[in-house]
Each structure stands twice: as C-alpha cells, then as structure tokens.
A and B are shown apart, each in its own frame.
Chain A
Amino acid sequence: MGFDVNVVFQIAGLGIVVAMLHSVLKMVGKEDYANWVTLLGFIVALFIVISLLNDLFQKVKGVFLFQN
C-alpha cells in the first residue's frame, strides 16, 4: 500500500501559495483577478484529489470484482 505523502504536502503548499496570491491581489484592488486565482487553485486541487480517488476506486474494484 504505497500511499504517497508528498501529494498531501503538495496540496497544502498549493493552498498556502494561492491564499497568499489572493491576499496580494486583493491588497492592490484587483479583486476579480484574486477570485479567479482562487477558483483556479481550487480546480487544480480538485484534479489532484480526483486522481487519488480514481486510484481508490480501482483498488475497490480489484478487490471485490477480482480484476486487476
């Protein structure tokens, strides 16, 4: 069961950097850009999570349906 801890740190770093970008852009008054950046960061994080979930479902399928 090789769960990669790096992915968790990657998502955490993504969140921190996107939060800082949001605050910087909001400080100079470009709130629309700030919202877009946050939304894009959220989507990227979701993609990472979805790829992990995909692994999980493949495993479940392999266990219960006797496929590889």
Chain B
Amino acid sequence: MSWLGAVCIFISTTWIGFELAKKVRDRPKQLRQLKVGLQSLEAEIMYGLIPLDEAFLHLSRQLSGPVAEFFLYAGQSLEASVSSVQEAWENGLSHLSASSSFKKEEIEILRQFGATLGRHDRENQQKQIRLALAHLERELAEANEAQLKHEKMYKSLGILLGLLLIILLV
C-alpha cells in the first residue's frame, strides 16, 4: 500500500517538473510566432492596405498555437463591432495571457503596442511595429537563455524532489 502512495508521489512531482519545463520550452517558440505575426501585420498594413480585422484573421490562419488564437480572438471581437481597436486588442490579450506561456513583460509590450494601433498614419504605424519587434527580440534572447538554463533544471528537480519526499515519508 505504501508503495502505491510512493509511486503516486513520484509520478506527480515528475509531472509538475515536466510541465514547468514545457512552459520554459514553449516560450521562445511562441515568441518567434508572435514576431512572425507582427512582421506579417507590418506587410499587410504597409503594402496590402487591408483593414485591421481582415488582417488579424489572415494572421490567425498563417500562424499556429496560442498566438493564432490571439489574432483570431482580436479579429472576431473587432468584427463583432467592439467600439475601438484597442478594446479588441485588450480582449485578445487577456485571452492570450491565460493560454500562452508568455510572461508579464511580453504582455505589457503588446499592450503598449496595441494602444498605438490604428491611431497613426502608415509610416508612424510602421515605426511602432518596429519598436515592438525590437522589444520582442530582446525578450526572445532572454527566453532562449532561460530555456538553456532552466529546462533541464526543472526536470531533474521534479524527479529528485519526488525521491526526497518518498525517502522522508517511507
């Protein structure tokens, strides 16, 4: 009977460790998706002259994962006649921060970028997109470094803490 409990403890702590490692591993991937999305948005605004709601829906078809859901959500709430772009963007952001592994910093960068969206002419809009991309580039470098450092650590910490608990409780 006590072996059953020990196996349960070991499996659950290992699982927690792997989940944390997965979160660390997914962050650079999703950041890259987000960068691709913003670059495509720049192209759609500068050369395509497409309205924002259609552009968002295009982007959600190009991308994958939580970032695609974010653009889909923002585009849909823009089509459903939300009063301003900023509000639709905020709706998408609150959805994104729950479903992705982004940290507060990325959400804050996106929020500040969303406040400028649809208020300026094309040149200024392009500058804002470039600014957000530069910020995201910095976050991506930091996220890559964190992945190298912490992914393995979370995995082995989960396993070792499980063993420790079992030894202490047996």
Contacts and interface: CB of A to CB of B under 8 A. Distances in A.
B160 A44 contact: no
Chain A residues touching B, range: 10 to 19
Interface string B141-170: 000000001101100110011011001101
Contact of A24 (B156, B163, B167, B170): B156
Interface residues of B, number: 13
A24 B153 contact: yes
A52 to B, nearest CB: 16
Given A10-B167, A10-B170, A44-B168, A17 B160 contact: yes
Interface string A7-27: 000100110011011001101
B153 A17 contact: no
Interface in B62-121: none
B164 A14 contact: yes
A10 B170 CA distance: 8
B115 to A, nearest CB: 37
B18 to A, nearest CB: 15
A24 B150 contact: no
A2 interface: no
A27 B157 CA distance: 12
A6 B166 CA distance: 13
Contact of A14 (B152, B157, B161, B168): B168
Contacts of B164: 14, 17-18, 21
A31 to B, nearest CB: 13
B121 to A, nearest CB: 47
Q: Which residue of A6, A14, A24 has the most chain B CB atoms within 10 A of its CB atom?
A: A24
Interface of A: 6, 10, 13-14, 17-18, 20-21, 24-25, 27-29, 44
Question: What are the nearest 3 A-B pairs in CB distance?
Answer: A13-B167, A28-B153, A17-B164
